[in-house]
Amino acid sequence: MRANLQLNDNSLNTRHYILSHPGKRKLNEDNVYPQHVDAEGARTFLVCDGVGGSNRGEVASDIVSRSIGTHLSYASEVNPQTICDAIRSAEQSLNAHSELYPECKGMASTVVGFHPNSESSAFVYWVGDSRLYHIRKGEVLYRTRDHSLVQLMVDQGHLTEEEARKSNRKNIILQAISDGNRFATPDITELTEIESGDILLLLSDGILEGCPESELIEQLSKCELKSAFKEIRVKCEEKSRDNFSLIALEVE
């Protein structure tokens, strides 16, 4: 799916493509915001991945994506405090749902979000192992750092990036947005000097299962975004056992 989006007179003008697919699984526990490229009022972009092994991951990711997306899309101003408030609001929504439906207790979701705030800058925020990449001319300028066990082991020098990618512990995350009294601590950063032609990718870990980072960058460097997006989808449909979701934005 594709759309052109002018967020406001002082913000980034982007073309974007949105994909969310169950992969080889019967149930898709991923959610994206907006769910449609032509959604009115959307001013922020999110990918959420319901935590495997927890109750009702598909419910958690849906609640988190809609709660944060709505909160930020209609906020008069977005800054790090607004983003933290949106995440707290999502946690409250999860708690309220769990109170009504006890079978959902223990549900949780990751999130990665992108919120443009000027013609050349945007806030990036995340909890868990869903990622954002900022790419220019085939070069990764920025990549979020996963809240995961293997990322911690890489940081401490116990694993290489390649070993982490192949580890049977790669799906263990250190935090998520959840119900109960567990409060997530998001990482928030501001990307500046975003330029025309830059590509922003928001994705769940299922994308990397079907199309590892090196292949992802290669696809984007050898053809236009629309074609690369289709190729990435084909690779993931063939190889990814997990749900996979991707929002790809190209700055105009």
Would you say residue 2 has pLDDT above 60? no
**85 pLDDT more than 60:** yes
> Per-residue pLDDT for 66 more than 50?
yes
- Nearest CA to 199 out of 124, 121, 251 is that of 251
Alpha carbon distances (Å) from 219 to 56, 97, 147:
34, 41, 26
pLDDT computed for residue 54 by the predictor = 63
> Quick check: 181 pLDDT over 90?
no
87 neighbors 81 (Cβ within 8 angstroms): no
CA dihedral 39, 45, 46, 47 (to 10 degrees): 80
37-59 in b/e form (b: 16+ CB < 10 A) is beeeebbbbbbbbbbeebbbbbb
Is the model's pLDDT at 8 over the cut of 70?
no
What percent of the chain is modeled with pLDDT above 90?
Answer: 83
Contact between 55 and 141 (Cβ < 8 Å): no
User: What is the predicted pLDDT for the residue at 4?
Assistant: 40
What domains can you pick out in the chain, each with its CATH number? Answer: 2-144+178-251 (3.60.40.10)
**CB-based contact 225:137 (threshold 8 Å):** no
148-177 per-position pLDDT tens digit: 999 999 999 999 999 998 999 999 999 999
pTM flag (> 0.85): yes
Handedness of CA 123, 229, 20, 15 (dihedral sign): positive
Tell me how far apart the alpha carbons of residues 6 and 207 are, in angstroms, rounded to a whole number: 27
What's the CA angle centered on 138, arms 137 and 141, to 5 degrees?
85
User: Residue 37: pLDDT band by 50, 70, 90 thresholds?
Assistant: low
| Band (36; pLDDT cuts 50, 70, 90) | confident
